Amino acid sequence: MKLWQVDAFANKPLEGNPAAVIPLAAFSETGLMQQIARENNQAETAFFVQTGEGQYDLRWFTPEAEVDLCGHATLASAYVLFEELAPELSQIRFATRSGELIVSRGEDGLLVMSLPSDPVQPFNGPKDYADKVGAALGIAPPKELYSARYLVGLWDDPKLICGIKDCGEIARVLREEYFWGMVVTAPGDEGYDFVSRFFAPDKGVPEDPVTGSAHCILTQFWATRLGKKTLKARQVSPRGGDLLCTDEGARTILAGRCALYMKGEIFL
């Protein structure tokens, strides 16, 4: 098997979010793909199979499980196709467990990705849950909590988000309300509209460096609060990454760059 490791939402290698990308003639047995993802030990390993001209089936695995949506590994897969396997293409359509995802070539090396939006709902859990979340992360409780694909916590100060040491005990607290991932966010500074981090320790991802699926939630959330359609976002993980996010209602448009870190072969 051929393998590429690509840093997504990155201007150069060693930034953004690394994803392993493996093209296949046909999908392998699910257990084997899970083993490969565990061996790769990246937040996600993407496997894709061509089904037509510019059309591919795409699946994503963390070290622990197959997931329904992964933005950065989708961007990385498109990068491998555009730059390595199918340079004649200007647009790629991926069929996934979250529906059709489209990635197009943008200007100045940007890749532009269309994903389904994930609107938030009010969180209706226990009244002391915000205190538990703050204590688990080692910071003050969030000002507000919301539910979407993940739990979403809102703080007022971006410095609090930047200062979170690690995922702490958040996995235990998330399990109480049947979540496996959490987005933490605050208004941006230094030219950014908002900042965020993402934790999913129960999926083998203590912290994800840059998370496309989280921005399917955050783009519409912050566009509504700020009265802006297009926003500049920074995921302030230790690696960090920049995203240009556009709210298109039912769809979220994310634009970013990718950098090739490694390519090789897997022998099984």
Task: Number of helices (H) and strands (E) in the chain: give both, helices first.
Answer: 6, 18
Q: In which residue are the tokens 């790769």 written?
A: 40
> Using an 8 Å Cβ cutoff, are 83 and 23 in contact?
no
State the DSSP string of 60-111.
Answer: EE-SS-EES--HHHHHHHHHHIIIII-TT-SEEEEEETTEEEEEEE-GGG-E
- Residue 122 φ then ψ, to 5°: -60, 140
Angle at the Cα of 118 from the Cα atoms of 115 and 123, rounded to 5 degrees: 165
SS3 215: helix
- Active-site residue flag, 100: no
SS3 223: helix
Catalytic choice (29, 39, 44, 177): 44
What residues contact 35, with CB distance under 8 A and at least 6 apart? none
Task: Give the Cβ contact number of residue 18 at 10 Å.
Answer: 25
SS (H, E, C) 147-212: ECCCEEEECCCHHHHHCCCCCCCHHHHHHHCCCCCEEEEEECCCCCCEEEEEEEHHHCEEEECCCH
Active site residues: 44
